[in-house]
Amino acid sequence: VATALVAAVGLAACADGTALERAGTSTTAVPTTTAPTTAAPTTTAVPATTTTSAPPPQLVPGTLAVRTPSGILGLWYGHEDVHRFIVSTPCDRRVTVPAASSALVRGIDVLLDPGHGGLDPGAKAPSGMNEAELNLDVALRVAELLRAGGLRVELTRDDDYFRTIADRAQLALATAPKAFVSIHHNSGIDAPTRTGIGTEIYHQAADAEARRLGGLLYESLDAGLGALDAAWTRSARWGVRARTNSAGTDFYGVLRRTAGVPAVIVEAAYLSSVSEAELLATDRFRAAEAQALADGIRRWLTTADPGRGYQPGFVEDGTGGNSDLRSCRDPSLDLPRR
Ligand SMILES: [Zn+2]
């Protein structure tokens, strides 16, 4: 299959990811490390998702996403020989995987990003449940719902492993999804207000479509979960906002580094709150949250609805958590799992 993948990337003149992937699985082109500078347009009938003719992707290491044999996405960094690609691991190391059972991933509908994982468990519930596990479970449910509706969905992580913020963002640029949704759950305060759900959604300050996606996700979560008679925690930052730093760019790396791909961070509810953590532990609540997120994403993709919950943005500097990658443990990318 994919010893020809790298060559196919250079040969495909269509920006549509489906075309690229098909080319990658059908062509018999000789593997090469250099992209043809004048790629011939493909004439086969491939459904185009856009009428604008973007230039074909270039073979720039670190800018192409590959589904490794494990199913885990990695960034392509060249090939060791005709049989093995060099890819990045979630811990941002370089390993090789068999090219024949790898595939290029590009032009997808949605890239879901379950926050934290591995050495970074994220927030903790009073019960001990951690955010990384909850984020992953919700994201897998959202992926299943969207895929059932025919959408092409990928995840930045699909198990309990770490991935750097830079790598998550680079996967978004490489897979070129229509939307990037980072799924988190909040912590920091536990002060039930009963004034409504305290969902916080952050969007890229300069991207109107990211803002609209945030508004539709807010509307959907508020309708699907906010109607419950729960002791919600709601901070002054509830709603849909941009958070920028004093340099004038997005505060959150996962939004700043994904410029060009509409991206949002969703903090649906407070994991640090005793009452919300109880809800978040239930299958029923997680299913409802996933349904609300999937509905909001679908609505963003298929309508021009404006959404709601918009609040003034704010400027605040801070320091993101820098994890020490020396203790990062990579999953194997070489073999199919389970
Ligand atoms: Zn988080």
CA of 97 to the centre of ligand 1 (A): 31
Distance 117 CA to ligand 1 centre (A): 10
In terms of Cα–Cα distance, which of 56, 89, 55, 51 is closest to 70? 89
How far does residue 31's CA lie from ligand 1's centre (Å)? 41
Q: How far is the CA of 120 from the centre of ligand 1 (A)?
A: 10
Distance 109 CA to ligand 1 centre (A): 23
Q: What was the pLDDT predicted at 41? A: 40
Round the CA-based radius of gyration of the chain to a whole number and report it. 20
- The alpha carbon of 333 and the centre of ligand 1 are apart by a number of angstroms equal to 25
Q: Which residues contact 68 (CB under 8 A, 6 or more apart)?
A: 74, 87, 97, 102, 333, 334
Answer with the residue of higher pLDDT: 31 or 249.
Answer: 249
Q: Is the distance from CB of 18 to CB of 47 less than 8 angstroms?
A: yes
Ligand 1 center from residue 50 Cα (angstroms): 34
Provide the residue type at 326 as one letter.
R
- pLDDT on residue 320: 63
Q: How close is the Cα of 135 to the center of ligand 1, in Å?
A: 8
pLDDT tens by residue, 255-293:
999 999 999 999 999 999 998 999 999 999 999 999 999
Mean predicted lDDT score pLDDT of the chain? 85
Q: How large is the average pLDDT for residues 8-26? A: 31
Q: Which tokens hold the place of 119?
A: 């050495």
Identify whether the C-beta of residue 153 lies closer than 8 Å to the C-beta of residue 146.
Answer: yes
Strands (E), 124-270: 153-155, 179-186, 200-203, 239-241, 243-244, 263-270
What pLDDT, on a 0 to 100 scale, did the predictor assign at position 156? Answer: 98
pLDDT in the model for residue 34:
39
Distance 182 CA to ligand 1 centre (A): 9
Q: Do residues 104 and 21 lie in contact, with contact meaning Cβ atoms separated by under 8 Å?
A: yes
CA of 116 to the centre of ligand 1 (A): 6
Pairing of strands 153-155, 179-186: unpaired
Distance 49 CA to ligand 1 centre (A): 33
CA of 199 to the centre of ligand 1 (A): 13
pLDDT at position 135: 98
Q: Which tops the pLDDT comparison, 148 or 20? A: 148
How many A from CA of 297 to the centre of ligand 1?
A: 20
Token couple for 94: 């370089």
Task: Kindly give the distance from the C-alpha atom of residue 137 to the centroid of ligand 1, in angstroms, as a whole number.
Answer: 14
Task: Check: CB of residue 293 under 8 Å from CB of residue 225.
Answer: no
Across the range 65-93, mean pLDDT stands at: 95
Given this model, what pLDDT does residue 262 score? 98
- Over 90: is that where the pLDDT of 332 sits? yes
User: How far is the centre of ligand 1, averaged over its atoms, from the C-alpha of 252 (Å)?
Assistant: 11
- How many whole angstroms separate alpha carbon 179 and alpha carbon 36? 30
pLDDT single digits (tens) 193-231? 778 899 999 999 999 999 999 999 999 999 999 888 888
Kindly give the distance from the C-alpha atom of residue 209 to the centroid of ligand 1, in angstroms, as a whole number: 23
19 CA from centroid of ligand 1 (Å): 35
222-235 tens-digit pLDDT: 999 988 888 899 99
Strand ranges (E), 215-334: 239-241, 243-244, 263-270, 314-315
Task: Give residue 102 CA to ligand 1 midpoint distance, Å.
Answer: 30
Average pLDDT of span 310-328: 83
Ligand 1 centroid distance, CA of 62 (Å): 25
Kindly report the CA angle at 51 between 46 and 52, in degrees rounded to 5?
120
pLDDT recorded at residue 37 = 39
Residue 161's pLDDT band (cuts 50, 70, 90)? very high
Q: Is the Cβ–Cβ distance between 260 and 190 less than 8 Å?
A: no
- Residue 49 in tokens: 């998702």
Residue 172 alpha carbon to ligand 1 centre in Å: 18
Q: What is the pTM of this model?
A: 0.84
User: How far is ligand 1, taken at its centre, from the CA of residue 123, in Å?
Assistant: 6
Q: How far is the CA of 115 from the centre of ligand 1 (A)?
A: 5
Question: Ligand 1 centre from 129 Cα, in Å?
Answer: 13
Ligand 1 centre to CA of 325 (Å) is 18
- Å from CA of 203 to ligand 1 middle: 15
Q: What number of other Cβ atoms are within 10 A of residue 76's Cβ?
A: 25
